[in-house]
A and B are shown apart, each in its own frame.
Chain A
Amino acid sequence: MVNLHEKAREIRKGILRTVYTQKQGHIGGPLSAADVLAVLYFDKMAVKPEEPEWTERDRFVLSKGHSAIALYVTLALKGYFEYDELYTFDALHSRLQAHPDMTKLPGIDMSTGSLGQGISAGVGMALAAKLQKKDYKTYVMLGDGESQEGQVWEAAAVAARYNLSNLAVIVDNNGLQQYGWKEADSSERQTPDVRFEEKWKAFGWKVLTVDGHQLDEIAEALDAVNDKENKQPVAIIAQTVKGKGISFMEGQYEWHSKVPTESEFNKAMKELGEVMP
């Protein structure tokens, strides 16, 4: 039995190590996505790291492609490639591009990076499974900021029209984006409340809201794609905290993409239970 808590913690450590070592990359968004990725890759998804192109595999699309580092760490931990390759992240000729590139790294089901596009590809994959009468599921992770892109809702409408019950979209609803809107009475910045539940419901989706850092809640919600009675695509609104797991990064939009200093890195790793040398 895989210890999912441990996996999630390892994903967080890997994100920090990579961004700290490479001195670049996003950090807040990847940390908010870590728990969902742990559940997907270490509990739910049928994949074969030794055979990344296995045609029956479940698909995953990181529509919020700037959280690539979280996916790379997850894939490394899953055994798709050597852990040390993480330290090539963002470097010239690396397979680990700033945003996921399916032409370079086996295990990436779709290239993403320009927001709003991955979900459409996910709809295509789920539609392909229906056309080919295959059982694989498709999972798409969307950002809440990303949901400002109109294409997201074009995709949502078509997925419902084709009853893609084999598709789950997980909205990493961390409430922050790169810059966002200034609050009227303070210096705080955030993504406005967008009433995701109502929106996805109105678009014809089955909607489940979970604490995006509670592994059992995430796992239970993801089971909806295996429910034979369900005829709707599944939207899981994962209420998350940007920078989750590191006290001084949580809820701080500045940590969207910022490299920790040595003392910040040490402090962060300590919070994740790492015994520093």
Chain B
Amino acid sequence: MSLTTKSMRDAFGKQLTEMTLQDPSIVALDGDLGNSTRLAFVENENQDAFLQMGIAEQNMVGVAAGLATCGIKPWVCSFAAFITRRTFDQLVVSVDQPHLNVKLVGAYSGLLTSNTGKTHHSFEDITLMASLPNMVVLSPGDAQETVRMMQAAGKYEGPVYIRLSRDENLEFLPGSEEPFEIGKAKWLNSGKKIACVSTGAMSPRVYKAIIELKAEGMSLTHVHFPTIKPLDRETVIKLAESHEHLVTVEEHFVRNGFGSLVNEVTSATCPVQTTRIGIQNQYSQCGKNDELLDYHGLSTGKLKMKLAELFEGR
């Protein structure tokens, strides 16, 4: 299937609608954000599969757990901040401990929350979700990968968290239309000295920066990690062994986020100098997408500057 939209949320809404039409046991649970998250697509095409839970995320997660015990396959969606931070005890006790087949979708993750500022940013969701023993944590790099990932998550029996970005224009990563395999990193560029590992919507930005640097004679390795848990340890170790320096990039707190998880592997196997790019020890603010990304060093331009600096050992 080829996709025309570059909007992750549109791809998500369309794909989930198709899945509910194919499998009547799949339902969508909305926390009153369906028109933003695109869960509304399900209601428009298949009303019976759409359950409005109102502005009450803790209950929504619990209802999903109860549905799952009876063989229904609930997909629960809200903003990433609300579906993880606000419901964390519910996720632990009602979903992860009983290992229930609940799919959790965090829309508007990271910085890009349609100019709503720090209350709606989610820089902790990877930390929280990756700490849960039974949870699979996924973070697609583009709309195509979102679709493939949802197909794979749907076949997986157990709790899964999918971290989506509200970026309407993410360039497709090479190979993102291929079937998705949980736990497998995707090699995008081979270079030397520096290996850059990125996840989620940062990957297309990093990819562009690295292609530009290549044209300028700087060849860096780049691997995209759409699965954060279980992390592709083999690839991390391979990268650590064959490079002088790792650079991790995420739209999340660097502390206890993706970069920390990468370092958890390298520190025990092959210690390597690592620079973690992401949100530092601070909350953010309002601003347009490009402004916010730039302010936090996550725009393609800023990433390119930083990577060049590291490559040249400045």
Contacts and interface: CB of A to CB of B under 8 A. Distances in A.
Task: Answer yes or no: do A and B interact.
Answer: yes
A106 interface: no
A161 B59 CA distance: 13
B64 interface: yes
A124 B70 contact: yes
Interface stretch (A110-118, A180-188, A202-210): A110-118
B31 to A, nearest CB: 11
Nearest to B52: A161
B279 to A, nearest CB: 30
Contacts of A114: 89-90, 92-93
A124 B93 contact: no
B94 A121 contact: yes
B111 to A, nearest CB: 29
Given A102-B98, A151-B62, A124 B56 contact: no
A112 to B, nearest CB: 8
B188 interface: no
A132 to B, nearest CB: 7
Interface in B65-107: 65-72, 74, 89-90, 92-94, 97-99
A13 B146 CA distance: 56
Nearest to A110: B69
Interface string B34-66: 000000000000001001111010111111111
Contact of B58 (A109, A110, A120, A129): A120
Contacts of B68: 124
B27 interface: yes
Contact of B56 (A118, A121, A158): A158
- Tell me which of A113, A121, A131 has the highest count of chain B C-beta atoms within 10 A of its own C-beta: A121
Interface in A85-115: 101-103, 109-114
A124 B63 contact: yes
Nearest to A103: B98
A125 interface: yes
B71 A154 contact: no
A157 B99 CA distance: 26
B97 A127 contact: no
Given A102-B69, A111-B98, A158-B54, A131 B27 contact: yes
A117 B71 CA distance: 19
Contacts, number: 115
Contacts of A243: none
B90 A125 contact: no
A123 interface: yes
B66 A121 contact: yes
B51 A127 contact: yes
A194 interface: no
- By size class, the interface of chain B is 20 to 34
Nearest to B56: A154
Nearest to A114: B93
A118 B69 CA distance: 12
Given A102-B98, A117-B94, A158 B66 contact: no
Given A102-B69, A111-B98, A158-B54, A123 B93 contact: no
A111 B63 contact: no
A155 interface: yes
A61 B62 CA distance: 12
Contacts of A161: 52, 54
Interface in B160-195: none
A236 to B, nearest CB: 19
Interface in A108-167: 109-114, 116-129, 131-132, 150-151, 154-155, 157-158, 161-162
A55 interface: yes
B61 A131 contact: no
Which of A113, A126, A128 has the most chain B CB atoms closer than 10 A to its own CB? Answer: A128
Residue from B54, B66, B92 with most neighbouring chain A CB atoms (10 Å): B66
Contacts of B63: 120-121, 123-124, 127, 155, 158
Contacts of A129: 70
A150 B62 CA distance: 13
A253 B52 CA distance: 40
Given A120-B59, A120-B94, A127 B66 contact: yes
A102 B74 CA distance: 19
B71 to A, nearest CB: 7
Interface string A16-56: 00000000000000000000000000000000000000010
B64 A124 contact: yes
17 contacts: A59-B69, A103-B97, A110-B98, A111-B93, A120-B66, A121-B94, A123-B59, A123-B66, A124-B68, A128-B69, A131-B48, A154-B54, A154-B56, A157-B54, A157-B56, A158-B56, A158-B59
Interface of B: 27, 48, 51-54, 56, 58-72, 74, 89-90, 92-94, 97-99
Closest CB pairs A-B (n = 6): A124-B66, A120-B62, A154-B59, A121-B66, A128-B70, A154-B56
Interface of A: 55, 59, 61, 101-103, 109-114, 116-129, 131-132, 150-151, 154-155, 157-158, 161-162
Given A117-B90, A157-B56, 9 more contacts: A110-B94, A120-B59, A120-B65, A120-B94, A123-B62, A124-B64, A124-B67, A127-B51, A127-B66
